[in-house]
Structure 1
């Protein structure tokens, strides 16, 4: 059963799980879609599109969340059940409400009173047990736990309702219809009925129930001048493609082939089936799907990318190189596509390709501040070229991004010892060594 972000009961006072513990899916076309969806909303929120990111998480639950900072995480399950791009915009608007209203920062303010109630009840209950009133003491602690939980859940529901209202405001100011936000809540309400959740205790939920949210928001959303705006056709097209590609990647192949049968000759179906056949071990069928994609739109960088990626992963990097080179050029050097191109160059094991791989990958990691795989490939290219010092620097960069401070320190120190002092690479290695060493020291002090 997929979890509903609109109605989740909790039994303990816990912190949000860090996004780093989950699998982040990075895809050039998906990130371009999220940027297109979010930019007007981010601007309406008074934030900078350069600093707000929307990130896709591989998780089949219907959920989106923020975990501090200005990053919004959207689960793959939510994208798969959404009917249109406007629904995703409604979700992003809601999460931007959390960001703009500082709800993650305020979470401690909501947890502290609840924790205080819980601790007090434990003290009183333990005192009663010590005095011989075991049953009464246990009752006091249970009641305190329930009261503490209720206190925290009430705070959580208030912040969610506030984020709904703020999100509706951002939709209006961005001139985007709120139909998607409302229809998505109705979809969640239908899920609640399907799973028999309509009779759950509304006071034991982290979010207001979907029916309550619909009732609260309907008037404001429908009163917006943007309510009757037509959907953005280009954005809707991109959404359909991304949704199909995502299903091909994360869903079992038989499900993908059921949703996009071979009789369906649309771009979306070819897109979905290409990766489904690839991971299912049908290389000829996967190749035929990518050929059909390129035949339909021969200059589309994202369609070129998936063909090149499948060729590379099927063990033919030489055939992948011209396709990925074309995709990189036509995407204006998109760093994710360029990283795959660089990977193909390295994978040929041909020394003649290493200089180009280094050039392409250096540019890619320079344009993308969260690309550990790019640093890994760059390190591989340097290593294959005999430049062990810069291979170590690339390893230090990758380790630093992944939080592996010990490897970062060791690799950065090796780079410093073998790169000419005071050059830009030496200074960068010094920065990583010092920063990672400080982090290691802090970790030791926390133990």
Structure 2
């Protein structure tokens, strides 16, 4: 019984914690890649790409999950461990299988501890923390029969998601080799950490696992995948090239600089290596070296919006906002006003403290939040614009928007009420402030009820 409880506890740490206590990493280039990688799979599943998102979570474990709704959460550790984008596509197909099957066991009633802007805006934004009460409830069931039923239910869901993932991979015309090779990685991990019976650990019970044993899953799927016309289809060279860039960028952002520089030595003059080293040097406080790596990138592709974005961000965070404007303005234009890039540009305009830039900053930031309302950093910058203009009602509204995303319901309620008191009743902004106030009040009342 203790062994089963221990296994269940491990599963809960793996599934519940990321949905309630980890950080979302946001980056324009990464999000564009994940959207393009998942689009054919989403369509093959009969879903709309406009409604399904793939979100990157800052967690170095190899994992992915769904937690309600049409969102697939991928751990940064999984992207780091993958050899190809095709392997990640196999994981995405499996998780979309959970979505189509309605398999989200743990519902997150809060949100996420924070959002980090991967493109060097460290600590720029935060979101709501969740309680994770579902996991506690499972742990308190206390009876072997109930736990066994849960584990069996989970194994059935995993097998069902495997089968659905195969259908979606085949329907998308994508090779299933990545799905199998990534399962091989999971099998190696299970051997390494003792989840298979061995001479030294003979008591591992495959029926006391939340997931079917990975080796068995591979054999079950291999025949179907190999029979598909797309089995020997070449990988998408463009997607794979973009994946290596994003992977290097992510490694440079999350890993210790020393680790990154060993992995991508100066002798490596590829675009991914320049990317990784630029982040490593920037994190280490060597702006000149970071700028040199970025300059090498821009030289190879002067019109690449993501290279220009990085160039501008390094200048901005090195205390040179005026010098950053050219690169960030061009990055915003060439990315078709991508909201995350535009928010950084708006921030740079404000950082110059030049009143002549205020109107442009307002225009850029208003467009950014209109296209992506879930960026607390952009709302903070827009609030600064309104504050400098002396527009107190809209300063309060922007503060309410940001506080609501951060889970600070008390500030959200107070700021929304302040905005309502000074905005024309019935106007679009007044209605939005009213909505935030109602949501914040409901959340606070619910929190009080839980504490009783």
TM class, shorter-chain normalised? 0.7 to 0.9
What is the SS of the residue equivalent to 2:104? helix
Residue 170 (structure 1) aligns with: 168
Query: Counterpart of 2:56 in 1: which secondary structure?
Result: strand
Aligned to 1:398: 402
Superposition TM-score, scaled by structure 1 size: 0.87
TM-score, normalization by structure 2: 0.86
Larger radius of gyration: 1
Within the candidate set 378, 384, 388, 2:382 is matched to: 378
Richer in helix (by share): 1
Aligned equivalent of 1:55: 55
**Given that residues 11 and 210 in structure 2 are in contact (C-alpha distance below 8 angstroms), is that contact kept between their aligned partners in structure 1?**
no
| 2:340 is aligned with 1:336 | yes
SS at match of 1:104: coil
Residue 204 of structure 1 is matched in structure 2 by 208
Q: Which of 439, 442, 445 pairs up with 2:446? A: 442
Partner of 1:72: 72
For 1:386 and 1:441, the matched residues in 2 are separated by 33
Q: Does 1:156 align with 2:154?
A: yes
* Segment drifting more, 420-429 vs 246-255: 420-429
Q: Quick one: distance in 1 between partners of 2:190 and 2:433?
A: 53
Kindly tell me: are residues 425 and 11 of structure 1, through their superposed partners in 2, closer, same or farther at Cα, counting changes over 3 Å? closer
SS at match of 1:170: helix
- How far apart are the structure 2 equivalents of 1:276 and 1:413? 44
- Report the Cα offset of residue 16 of structure 1: 2.5
Give the conservation status (yes or no) of the 8 Å contact 2:166–2:224: yes
- Corresponding residue for 2:23? 23
Matches within 5 A, 1:46-125: 46-104=46-104
- For residues 448 and 334 of structure 2, the distance between their equivalents in structure 1, rounded to whole angstroms, comes to 48
Distance 2:409 2:139 in 1: 39
Assess if the C-alpha contact under 8 Å between 2:339 and 2:368 holds in 1.
Answer: yes
Q: Which runs of 5+ in 2 are unaligned?
A: 1-5, 108-133, 198-203
2:67–2:105: 8 Å Cα contact kept in structure 1? no
Partners in 2 of 1:397 and 1:11 — Cα distance?
A: 36
Is the 1:176–1:229 contact (alpha carbons within 8 Å) kept by the matching residues of 2? yes
What is the 5 A alignment of 1:322-361?
322-361=326-365
What does residue 179 of structure 1 align with? 177
Q: Does 1:365 align with 2:361?
A: no
418-427 or 179-188, larger mean C-alpha shift: 418-427
Confirm or deny that 1:253 pairs with 2:257.
Answer: yes
Q: Is the Cα–Cα contact under 8 Å of residues 67 and 106 in structure 2 kept in the other structure?
A: no
| Number of residue pairs the alignment of both structures matches | 410
Q: CA deviation at 1:347?
A: 1.3
Q: 1:150 to 1:167 in 2, by over 3 A?
A: same
* Alignment-derived partner of residue 310 in structure 2: 306
174, 185, 188: which one aligns with 2:186:
188
CA distance in 1, matches of 2:422, 2:71: 37
Is 1:9 matched up with 2:25? no
**What residue in structure 2 maps to residue 243 of structure 1?**
247
Matched, 1:273 2:277: yes
Residues 6-58 of structure 1 show CA distances to partners (whole Å, capped at 9, x for unaligned) of: xx932489582362421100000000000001111111111111111100011
Q: Which has the higher contact order (CA 8 A, sep 6+)?
A: 2
Distance 1:33 1:251 in 2: 21
Separation in structure 2 between the aligned mates of residue 295 and residue 203 of structure 1, nearest angstrom: 56
Deviation at 1:197, TM superposition (A): 3.7
User: How many Å separate the matches in 2 of 1:269 and 1:86?
Assistant: 21
The 2-side partners of 1:333 and 1:117 are apart by 47
CA contact (8 A) 2:18 2:57 kept: no
Query: Per the alignment, in what secondary structure is the counterpart of residue 56 of structure 1?
Result: strand
When residues 425 and 177 of structure 1 are mapped into structure 2, their CA distance, relative to the original with a 3 A threshold, is: same
* CA distance in structure 2 between the partners assigned to 1:13 and 1:237 by the alignment: 34
Q: Secondary structure at the match of 2:17?
A: coil
Give the conservation status (yes or no) of the 8 Å contact 1:82–1:184: yes
Tell me, yes or no, if structure 1 residue 213 matches structure 2 residue 211: no
**2:69, 2:99 within 8 Å by CA — same for their partners in 1?**
yes
User: What is the rounded CA distance, in whole Å, between the counterparts of 1:173 and 1:286 in structure 2?
Assistant: 43
Q: Deviations over 1:225-262 (max 9, x none)?
A: 11111111110111000000000000011111111000
Superposed CA deviations along residues 259-299 of structure 1, whole A, max 9, x for unmatched, are: 10001011110000001000011111101000101001100
Q: Secondary structure at the match of 1:72?
A: strand
TM-aligned CA distance change 1:20 to 1:354, over 3 Å: farther
Match of 1:412 in 2: 416
Q: Distance in 2 between matches of 1:191 and 1:228?
A: 27
- Where 2:397 maps in the other structure, the secondary structure is helix
- CA drift of 1:355 comes to 1.3
SS in 2 for 1:65: strand
